[in-house]
Amino acid sequence: MKYEDIEIVIRQNHPRIWQDLLSLNPFYKNQITRKIAEKCGFPDVYELAEQVVTWVESCSPDVHDSFELMSMTYDEIKEKQRIAGERLTRQANMLRRNLRRILDIRPEQDQFQQQFDRDKTESEKSYVIYQDSRNTGKGWTAFDAKQRETRRRYAINHSIAEHINDFCRNFLNYQGLFLSLTLPPEFHSCSYEEAKAEINRRWTNIRRRLKYRNILHLGTSVIELQQDETPHYHIQLYVSPDHREYVESVILQEFPNENDRQGDAIKDIWDALGCIGYALKESEKTDTYVSFIGMAKDIKCRYDNVYRGKSHKDLSDWRLTKSRKMMQNNKPDGRILLMLRGFADERLNLLSSRHPDFHYVRNDIQRLQVSYVHCIHFGVFKNFNNPKEDKDRRCQRSEIMADICDFYTFVASQVYNNQECILLVPYFWECEKSRGQPPPVRERKKLNQSQQTNNIRHFSRLAQKSWKQTNRCGISGKSMVLVKK
């Protein structure tokens, strides 16, 4: 049964309700009539009309007073926005979502919403920002600009999430948890605003309790919509193995409905890149919100500015240069977050300062990693495993090799590869993350005469100024002239 069958009855008996429904789109009026008819067992016309009137009167004022706005086409909303100077598109989409939740309609079943989205896309494609000088029929449109901005945001979110995973796994030695948190069934029929406020309140309580226990937790949180447009969380959370049991208990206390599906709600992260891609798969939608746990509030803006070569208020030029070079490698690297001072906990940011804070450092390997970050940032090696040693070594000197090889060869190899004035020739002893190999002896450092000519790195200005037409050993910095007998 359609609304047209009962419209005459409502108009005669309830003219005020008929006037309110007059501005509502016919698709929604038919859906209201259909749902009430199925619920009441398909009554006659007069009884159905009374049920529809009762339903309209029982609606919340937010829905009842917004029939006109949610029924406007995209062209009508654009005209109203131009006159009123307000942005109404997002508000209209939110009102239609709440009505769909009341009527139990999926987004793909909403014909009016589908047409609204198509009209919006066509309008963006037809708005040309600037013409193509080579082809007058083509140009850069608003739709192209929107797609580029979406890809840029996705790239930033994906990169930061990878850097967090690298830092937590390879430096802090934390365990990763993939959380899928949903609301109880009673919140699937309320408005979207109420459901979102409730799930945010529960997650905020979890973080507050962890912070009260001084439990460091980092990660990525993504709030998106289910099929019935109820918000839920996908969270990558990294915590210490000592605190994992307590963290899981706190999560289940705030989300008791997840006790029955604890194996699906809390999982171990085995494939970090796969989890990141799954969590960010719908990040291009306007109703998907991506945030980072334990990071600075402006971490996205900070990362974007450095990547684009812009300055930032609390980052030195040296930090900007080093961070940008590491970003260009396009690899997960937690050191970038240290160089950007991107953590909310200042004790983590101080790991890249001249006087690091070792509050979260537990072993010698982490101290060596801090030494390596110190080498990258300041160009000086400082042995943090031996606090009695006050002498700092410049990275350009070959003696630094012996200092670091006393602990782990892989750190020595990394520092060696990042020195200036070294020869760009692979050596058989340079095996990354190897164990127990001695540093190269002086005899092995010497190369053949054919390999020693013109091998100074082109970007080293100091080396270019001091270079002479002699056979040079890039490791020791000494020149050796070969005289033919």
- Residues 384 and 367 sit within 8 Å (Cβ to Cβ): yes
What does the alpha-carbon distance between residue 271 and residue 16 come to, in Å, rounded to a whole number? 59
What is this structure's pTM?
A: 0.79
What does the alpha-carbon distance between residue 23 and residue 119 come to, in Å, rounded to a whole number? 20
Strand partners, 239: 175
How far from the centroid of its chain's Cα atoms is residue 313's Cα? 22
Please tell me the predicted confidence (pLDDT) of residue 438. Answer: 55
> How does pLDDT run along the chain (485 residues), one tens digit per residue?
788 888 999 999 999 999 989 999 999 999 999 988 888 876 788 888 999 999 999 888 888 889 999 999 999 999 998 888 888 999 999 999 999 999 989 999 999 999 999 999 999 999 888 887 676 667 889 999 999 999 999 999 999 999 999 999 999 999 999 999 999 998 988 889 999 999 999 999 999 999 999 999 999 999 999 988 999 999 999 999 999 999 999 999 999 999 988 889 999 998 888 999 999 988 888 889 999 999 999 999 999 999 998 888 888 888 999 899 999 988 999 999 999 999 999 999 999 998 899 999 988 888 888 888 888 888 777 778 776 666 666 665 433 443 443 333 445 455 554 454 444 444 444 444 445 555 555 444 444 433 433 443 343 444 444 444 444 333 333 334 433 33
Please tell me the predicted confidence (pLDDT) of residue 382. Answer: 79
Q: What one-character DSSP code corresponds to residue 5?
A: G
Domains of the chain by start residue, with CATH: 3-126 (no CATH), 146-294 (3.30.70), 302-447 (no CATH)
Please tell me the predicted confidence (pLDDT) of residue 467. Answer: 42
Q: Which of 292, 263, 265 is nearest to 276 (CA)?
A: 292
Q: Which of 36, 29, 31 is nearest to 50 (CA)?
A: 36
